[in-house]
Structure 1
Amino acid sequence: MAAAALAITLFDLQGGIYIPPVDPAMVVATVCQKAVSRLKRHFPQLFALSNPGPCNLPLEIILMIAEYLDKCALISLASTIPYYMERLECKKRIDLYLSFLLSCDIPYHHVRLVMNRHFYGPEHGLPLQALSKRRNYTTLKHRIKCSVSRHACIFNDELLILTALSMTQLRGDLVSLKSHVEFSGGSICEHLTFLQESPACIPIPFPELAKKGSTSGPFPACEPIYGSCTSCPTDYNITMNWQGVKKGYSIEVLVYRGLGDCRTPENWYWRNTMARWDPSEQSRSAYSPHNPPGSIRDKWNEAGGVAEITDGAWRRALQVAGLG
């Protein structure tokens, strides 16, 4: 169900602009003139009205505006809707964000706007490309060249996210690459650890790679590693490629996440993908039996026209790990 429109009236005050409380979401903010100038640049249509009366804005747009006004211009923002923002000063609620590998984050209202556009038309939200992101950097300690990219697609009215990570040591130093993966490489999700039977453990980077290798020796040669989280709708595969003596190994990680229809942040898909393990939450097999291990990756491939069913590979991987 689409969020109800909010009637917002902007008043000119000596110290800035005042947005009075409104129902049902009750937005309260005091904004300085500099912030209003930024608002005009990002949302010029709001200030192009011949009659400066109330502006009807959806709740998602209010949240987007709040994001642009966050740098100490937004004094307080209150919302009566659970999991949105609650009277915060110059900061945002962590649980509004989906954290991906190496700080690739998606605010909830962005995914909702993308799905609004899908369900209701272009005038109701953001294009799918708004969720795409790419970041390249080199770590200082181990001199690892990293590339992280994020991609999105919609399949059967559900949002799918693919995060791709590649890591290469600039001098081909395998020991440094291995140390980076084991201690700084990031985690697949909040639920995957060395001891996978104990989901409450602190997440560690790429458990399969660390478990198969040794601290003194090189990575073992292996085929692509397939894995799935038993708590959230996340599938992944890890590939190690030999690039020659000079460049050494390159490690590539593909993580596939299913976020559902993104109609509410209280939805099981969003809640379980973004949160640490909660013993009160249903497992993936119990809540979502139609999304068995490997199914999120299969959906992504099918959305791209690739007919590849990986259920067998995932089932064998789970059996080897003692989970199948």
Structure 2
Amino acid sequence: MASAVLYGPLFLQLPADLVLYLCREHLRPASAAALSLTCKSLFVLVFAGTRPGFNGGTQRRDLQLLLEKDLGHAPLPRRRVLLGSGFSIGYRSVRLAMNRHFLGAPNGLPLRYFDVQGISLGPLRWFEKWSARILQGELFLSARRTMCGSAWTDEALRAALDHEGPRYDICGHVSMSGPWSISNVTALHSAAVSASTSARAPVVLVPCRDLVEACGRCLTDYTTTVERRVRPVQGGGVDGRQTMEYWFITITSFHRLGSGRSPWDAKWQAFGGRPSISTIRLRRDMETHPPGAVKAAWDEGEQAAVSGHRRSHSSPTWRAC
């Protein structure tokens, strides 16, 4: 440390040809330009008599990302909305959250900003609860959605799932049901119901528990539980019954959004990038990320967090000598 104070940064004490070799052979142009901007001496050495050259707009955008500076108290930037949902997110939110992870406070945003609760739009009132974790150096989100059908007749609930109201998305490619999405939640789709319906006993929904499915385009897994519940009726119902049955649906989704280092990262582009020719062609690599892999990573992180919490709160054990 004393030598750095007396003679300048240690990096600049290297031979000039070695500094040039490292910058030109081992750094991308954007990284070399960003490094040269840390001090005047280094800029003069690396770009003596020249200007940083970039081939195309991609390298310029990479340099802009490297030169960013954000404040811990900065408000959340504008975000992209999931259709029908009360939750929205944009690339800037992902990057700022990962900045807090990589750079520490007060940089970026803490994960508590993603702890959002709300009720969906449309006739079916889905209660949402979102949370976030950083696992394997990347941002993960999870949402638990529940819908109580006690106020609906079976026929009205089926019609609402199929046709009524705005589309309600799990991600940009999977929706609860209805005809206007790339894919649907299998347990809620009318095709699954038709396969279980007979002439004598029509079926509105197919009961299931923790059915695991995956989006074929982005890194989203989701589990579905459809169950029939019973609750007491005060004073008896219209037909004199003391209890009533109703449908209760729980869908928990898990999303892997990437490290947030570039808005062109395929993981982020697949989930929340603007629709374009490049994003439409994105497909999930089922060999690298098979169905259930995102959920498994989340579950492992949750178990590790619980174990760490228990260890930190465990009392020491004393033994007599």
Q: Give the corresponding residue for 2:118.
A: 135
1:151 pairs with one of 83, 107, 131: 131
Equivalent position to 2:144, from 149, 160, 164: 164
Structure 2 CA distance for partners of 1:291 and 1:60, relative to 1, 3 Å: farther
Q: Which residue of 2 aligns with 1:186?
A: 168
Change (3 A) 1:194 1:159: closer
Contact 1:153–1:161 (CA under 8 A) maintained in structure 2? yes
Gaps of 5+ in 1: 5-23, 26-56, 68-91, 196-200, 308-324
Alpha-carbon distance in structure 1 between the residues aligned to 2:192 and 2:91: 36
Residues 126-275 of structure 1 aligned to structure 2 (within 5 Å)? 126-136=109-119, 139=122, 141=123, 144-183=124-163, 184=165, 186-192=168-174, 202-203=181-182, 205-210=184-189, 211-214=191-194, 217-244=203-230, 246=244, 248-275=246-273
Q: Secondary structure at the match of 1:269?
A: helix
Aligned-residue offset at 1:218: 1.6
Deviation per CA, 1:106-135: give whole Å up to 9, x if none: 132122111101001112111111111000
| Counterparts in 2 of 1:64 and 1:99: CA distance versus 1, 3 Å | farther
Gaps of 5+ in 2: 1-29, 35-59, 62-66, 231-242, 306-321
Taking the TM superposition and a 5 Å limit, the aligned residue runs for 1:29-178 are: 58-60=68-70, 67=77, 97=80, 99=82, 102-136=85-119, 139=122, 141=123, 144-178=124-158
CA distance in structure 2 between the aligned counterparts of 1:299 and 1:222, rounded to whole angstroms: 23
4+ aligned runs moved over 4 Å, structure 1: 57-67, 275-280
Task: Give the 3 Å change call, closer, same or farther, for CA 172–59 of structure 1 in structure 2.
Answer: same
Which whole-Å CA distance do the structure 2 matches of 1:175 and 1:166 have between them? 19
Deviation at 1:284, TM superposition (A): 1.5
Q: Who wins on radius of gyration, i.e. which is larger?
A: 2
Tell me how far 1:188 sits from its aligned partner: 2.7
TM-score where L is the length of structure 1: 0.57
Q: Give the match for residue 285 of structure 1.
A: 285
User: 2:270, 2:120 → 1: CA distance?
Assistant: 29
Contact 1:134 1:147 in 2 (8 A): yes
CA–CA separation in structure 2 for the residues paired with 1:277 and 1:213: 34
TM-score by length of 2: 0.58
Counterpart of 1:162, as a letter, is S
Over the matched positions of the two proteins, sequence identity in percent amounts to: 22
- Distance change (3 Å), C-alpha of 1:262 and 1:212: same
Maintained 8 Å contact 1:147/1:167: yes
Query: Residue 85 of structure 2 contacts residue 168 of structure 2 at CA under 8 Å; is this kept in 1?
Result: yes
- Structure 1 partner of 2:54: none
TM-superposed CA distance for 1:189, in Å, is 2.5
Mean CA deviation greater in 167-176 or 234-243: 167-176
- Aligned twin of 2:317: none
Structure 1 or 2: more helix by fraction: 2
